[in-house]
Each structure stands twice: as C-alpha cells, then as structure tokens.
Amino acid sequence: MDNNMKILIVDDFSTMRRIIKNLLRDLGFTNTSEADDGLTALPMLQSGKYDFLVTDWNMPGMQGIDLLKAVRANPELADLPVLMVTAESKKDQIVEAAQAGVNGYVVKPFTALTLKEKIDKIFERIEAA
C-alpha cells in the first residue's frame, strides 16, 4: 500500500471529513482532498487521478451510492477502490452498495481501528489480485 496515494474524502459534514482526514493521517496517508457531495466529487475524480475514494452515502446533491455507480460506469474510474463510511445500516442498503461494486463498508459511528482494518483489507485484496 502506497502511503502517498491520493485519497478523496466525500462527506457533506465538514466535521466528519476532518475526522476521517485525521484518522487517515494517523495511518500515514497525508495526500487527501475533500468534497462535500457526489456532484463536487465526480469532476475531481475525473480530472484528479485519485487512488482511493472514501465516501458517505446520505448527502444532498448527489448521494454516495449514485457517486459509486457513476464511478463504476466510467471506464477511467471503474477500478477505483471505494470505501463507504455511512450511517446507512439497513440490510438492503448494504446489499445495494455491494451490488454497485463497493470495496468496503463502514457504519457510523465507527472506530479508528475499524477504519484501518477495512482499508488494509481493501488493499490486501487489490494487491493479491
């Protein structure tokens, strides 16, 4: 896992973006950017060569699930690893995200350890593939 990889954090709450940004920094990832919903995130992803996307689900404008679908539908972004960090915790929502091609799913409230484990797992799988 490259500690210098470029990560986009998408959440409509700036407090949550800061928390995730700080946790990622603790894990050694300092190359992070932020967006407050899918509509802002998508053009950043298209032009910015990101290596990893961490997104919330419930956001005004474009929701995280639609951002995930848009990423998977775009040939240039289709392989981008996506971790969802969200309060959405219904079974059919998680199934929906899985079917849309999410790489990991963390429910809020979460711990620093959970975030680390899910990120590790995502990149273990990618490196093993």
Which stretch in 1-9, 19-27, 36-44, 72-80 sits in contact with another protein by CB under 8 A? Answer: 19-27
Query: Minimum CB separation from another protein for residue 49, in Å?
Result: 26
119 CB-near residues (< 8 Å, 6+ apart): 1, 27, 52, 83, 104
Query: Minimum CB separation from another protein for residue 47, in Å?
Result: 27
Sheet architecture: strand order including 104-107: 32-35, 7-10, 52-55, 82-86, 104-107
Query: Can you tell me which of 35, 45, 65, 83 binds another protein, judged by CB under 8 A?
Result: 65
Q: Which is nearer to another protein, 21 or 53 (CB)?
A: 21
Cβ contact 17:11 at 8 Å: yes
Q: Which is nearer to another protein, 46 or 66 (CB)?
A: 66
**Binding positions for another protein, 84-113, rule CB under 8 A:** 87-96, 98, 105-112
What is the CA angle 126-58-103, rounded to 5?
A: 10
**Binding positions for another protein, 33-62, rule CB under 8 A:** 57-59
Neighbours of 66 (CB within 10 A): 17
How many residues are present in the chain? 129
Write out the residues near another protein by the rule CB under 8 A: 11, 13, 15-16, 18-19, 22, 26, 57-59, 63-65, 87-96, 98, 105-112, 114
